Amino acid sequence: MADWRVQRKARDARIERGRVHAEGKLVAASAVVDLLEAVLLPGDRVCLEGDNQKQADCLARGLSACDPVRVHDLHMVQSGIVLPEHLDIFEQGIARRLDYSYSGPQGARIARMLYGGQIALGAVHTYLELFARYFIDLTPNVALIAGVSADRDGNLYTGPNTEDTPTVVEATAFKNGVVIAQVNAIVDRVPRVDIPGDRVDFVVEADRPFYVEPLFTRDPAAVTETQILMAMMAIKGIYAEYGIRRLNHGIGFGTAAIELLLPTFAERLGLKGKIATHWALNPHPSLIPAIESGWVEQIHCFGSEVGMDRYIRERPDVFFTGSDGSLRSNRAFCQTAGLYACDLFIGSTLQIDLQGNSSTVTTNRVAGFGGAPNMGSDPHGRRHPSDPWMKAGEEAGGTGDPALRRGRKLVVQLVETFGDKLVPAFVERLDALELARKLDLELAPVMVYADDVTHIVTEEGIANLLLCRTLDEREQAIRGVAGYTDVGRGRDHAMVEALRARKIIRRPEDLGIDPLDADRSLLAARSIKDLVHWSGGLYEPPAKFRNW
């Protein structure tokens, strides 16, 4: 007879070996390395949080200190490559293969290691894609997670930055895997049970609180007049014209500028209650003035943001909060909301080619994608109508019965024509293609594919790609807003003017916007200190953003 409990027996054996280093479920921080060496086996799939913001850093340090003779050739499956230890384990031979989503802070180092053959890359995923594979073919054998506190039975309180934890635990605990959690404190009773103790095998009281990256804080003092101009065009030429109420903003100063213009420029246009009411969004501090001005009705969050906890606690009508008052974030749910329930995604990128494909992968940096490919894609599974969705579908055209015509999600790339160090954002060919060639990848790491992009906004104007009917029109529309880059200088001037006559390209003056009006006085807040004042003192910015 077949033995249907092979995996369960292997799991039980791992736990028995780990119990030697535990008192019940509790493990001292000084015993983390011993615990990991007891539980892990060569070749294991390991999910280490590794989120967008929250980092299981105590467990990461422990893993990087393991003996590579005992623990080696691990297959890491994790959202974020954020800490140095996340890559140290590949240099040490502890890990060999990697499937991930985002590597912002380690983007340059991971590029060098990929080109140097120190990492065997599976794929650069979007978050939902990676989460999905946890339940199909990348199920972790061991999950190393982080929480705020735990009781002695292993019940976890994950607090505002729950992020990926429920998804990781669900996939691991219910498929014969081992779950090890680090927490900031062991308590008699957790404020709320976010992860039940029967899904957690070991709990480590970390030597210091887990690290959280303030990823979504943008200082209004750094917003430029160029970004304000682009934000004005986006609000008047896209948000107002389509009536965008349900949306997601990516990271960047351009989208921060939009948020800071809602109570001022957008208010003057009479748009309050007509746009930007329902959000899938981390709690951006730059959105505080819009919240306080009554623009925002509801926000569901992927994760939290450092310093926003008190503010969120006092605004339960806006945010999703638990009985303890703290934010309940969930990256998988919020990614799904951004994919299917939002009518617009607007974000930035490092490179855009002549058809509108974009990527954050360059020759010397592999930053990954995070959730942008989910947010910035037109979901063919959507079946509910909305006015913006239907209008975009009509503009995209098509033949056949109008009743069978699909709507379209609006996917907007908000980019300045030149980035840092005057590197052009518009290119003939994405660097991602060269990376694919060098690493012999079957699939180039494109972030947002051209057929999903509906609009490109630069300081030159807006290109509405929905209205383009040929590839030549699409290319010239992109060239027409690409400024003084090589791509922009290669435009066909007559064709660009013809596209402008058809309102495929619109300059600021076509929208009734005077670029000289793009002044910092338009911002509802012009410093972090202003945001604190708007919040009534509830926002507590990280020390590095305080200059008063």
DSSP string, 361-402: EETTEE-B-TTHHHHTS--TT-----HHHHHHHHHH---S-G
Burial label for 538, CB within 10 Å (0-12, 13-18, 19+), is middle
> Do 356 and 474 touch, CB atoms closer than 8 A?
yes
Domain boundary among 166, 188, 212: 212
Place of tokens 């750094």: 222
Query: Same domain for 151 and 237?
Result: no
Query: Same domain for 244 and 98?
Result: no
Do β-strands 505-506 and 410-414 pair in parallel, antiparallel, or remain unpaired? unpaired
In a domain, 540, yes or no: no
Query: Same domain for 201 and 270?
Result: no
Query: Same domain for 292 and 396?
Result: yes
The reply to whether omega before 104 is within 30° of 0 (cis) is: no
Domain boundary among 187, 212, 237: 212
Domain boundary among 165, 181, 212: 212
- H/E run at residue 97: strand 95-102
Number of domains in the chain: 2
In a domain, 230, yes or no: yes
In a domain, 534, yes or no: no
Query: Same domain for 180 and 258?
Result: no
Instruction: Report the pLDDT value the prediction gives residue 54, as an integer from 0 to 100.
Output: 95
In terms of Cα–Cα distance, which of 139, 213, 198, 201 is closest to 12? 201
In a domain, 168, yes or no: yes
In a domain, 192, yes or no: yes
pLDDT (tens place) for every residue of the chain, 548 residues total = 899 999 999 999 999 999 999 999 999 999 999 999 999 999 999 999 999 899 999 999 999 999 999 999 999 999 999 999 999 999 999 999 999 999 988 999 999 999 899 999 999 999 999 999 999 999 999 999 999 999 999 999 999 999 999 999 999 999 999 999 999 999 999 999 999 999 999 999 999 999 998 989 999 999 999 999 999 999 999 999 999 999 999 989 999 999 999 999 999 999 999 999 999 999 999 999 999 999 999 999 999 999 999 999 999 999 999 999 999 999 999 999 999 999 999 999 999 999 999 998 887 788 888 899 999 999 999 999 999 999 999 999 866 787 788 899 999 999 999 988 899 999 999 999 988 888 888 888 999 999 999 999 999 999 999 999 999 999 999 999 999 999 999 999 999 999 999 999 999 999 999 999 999 999 999 999 999 999 999 999 998 898 78
In a domain, 397, yes or no: yes
In a domain, 13, yes or no: no
In a domain, 4, yes or no: no
Query: Same domain for 233 and 133?
Result: no
Pull the structure tokens for residue 403. Answer: 């009743």
Query: Same domain for 47 and 123?
Result: yes
DSSP-derived 3-state class of residue 344: strand
Query: Same domain for 260 and 320?
Result: yes
User: Can you give the pTM of this predicted structure?
Assistant: 0.95
Query: Same domain for 207 and 260?
Result: no
d(CA 294, CA 524): 13
| Segments forming the whole domain that contains residue 330 | 220-529
Query: Same domain for 231 and 189?
Result: no
- Tell me the helix, strand and coil percentages in the chain, rounded to 5: 40, 20, 40
Query: Same domain for 307 and 335?
Result: yes
In terms of Cα–Cα distance, which of 328, 304, 316, 360 is closest to 166? 328
Query: Same domain for 261 and 208?
Result: no
The CATH number given to whatever domain includes residue 240 is 3.40.1080.10
Instruction: Report the pLDDT value the prediction gives residue 399, as an integer from 0 to 100.
Output: 66
